[in-house]
Amino acid sequence: MFQKVLIAEDFPSVNYSVQRTLEELGIAHNIKNHVYYCDHAFSRIQKALNENEPYELLITDLSFDDDATQQQISDGVSLIKAVRALQPDLKILVFSIENRFAIAQKLFKDLNLNGYVPKGRSDAQDLQLAIEIIHQNKRHLSKNLKKVPGDEIIYQFTPRDITIITQILDGATQKEISEYLEKNNITPSGLSSIEKRLNTIRRDLNFNNNQQLIAYCKDHGII
């Protein structure tokens, strides 16, 4: 499990709740590992890097109340971008009141997040699950996010993607798909490139297997 986690959350009650969740997971916590301002979060991460004791996980809100304290970084999105530039391998989990699936999915992809959990009922359990999954080098996009009809972002598939997924639907193995692509001058056609692309699509859409991917494509008229 993670040994060093930083919490960036401006409401003390929520900050304390996240600390309790970490304690339940056996993650040691102290006052140095939670902050109320984005600038302080960035400074702590920078300091930890300089001391060769880097943080392993950042749990951050997206919105921070303006209390007249002057800040260079004033919101979670800006903090994540700054942190990504400073420590690219740091795992980042967003814990936010923003509960729209489409918005969360876009942020998840655009910011290369490792996890997204909305605040609300059962959020403590959801947060704990997210931390455990992220520790396994997997990504977690909460199933508690609300999906509004017509609000879902449709993934942008390339013609090659559609060909590969259609071949899977027809029962072809990856070797057979590779041969089909090569025969029809569709590049790249190598086995590794096919698997890498499928992994990327499944990760972006938060799917665990090709069956979920095929169902998604059929539901949206892609294949």
Other CB atoms within 10 A of residue 31 CB: 7
Longest CA span, the chain? 64
* β-pair partners for 8: 35, 60
Residue 213 CA to residue 27 CA, distance in Å, equals: 35
For residues 38 and 49, give the distance between their C-alpha atoms in angstroms, rounded to a whole number.
Answer: 17
| CB-CB contact of 102 with 148 (8 Å) | yes
Nearest partner of 199 among 141, 139, 148, judged by Cα: 139
CATH class for domain 5-141?
alpha beta
Which CATH number, 2.30.30, 1.10.10, 3.30.300, 1.10.238, labels domain 159-219?
1.10.10
What is the share, in percent, of the chain residues with pLDDT greater than 70? 96
| pLDDT tens digit sequence for 185-201 | 999 999 999 999 999 99
Give φ, ψ of 59 to 5 degrees. -105, 115
- Choose between 21 and 147: higher pLDDT: 21
What single-letter amino acid sits at 147? Answer: K
143-164 pLDDT per residue, tens:
888 876 655 556 778 889 999 9
Domain positions in the chain are: 5-141, 159-219
pLDDT in tens, 105-114: 888 888 999 9
Q: In what order do the strands lie in the sheet with 91-96?
A: 34-35, 5-8, 57-60, 91-96, 115-118, 140-141
What pLDDT, on the 0 to 100 scale, is given for residue 152? 57
The conformation of residue 51, written as its DSSP 8-state character, comes to T
Q: Given pLDDT bands bounded at 50, 70 and 90, which one contains residue 9?
A: very high
The answer to whether residues 179 and 213 touch, using CB atoms and an 8 Å cutoff, is no
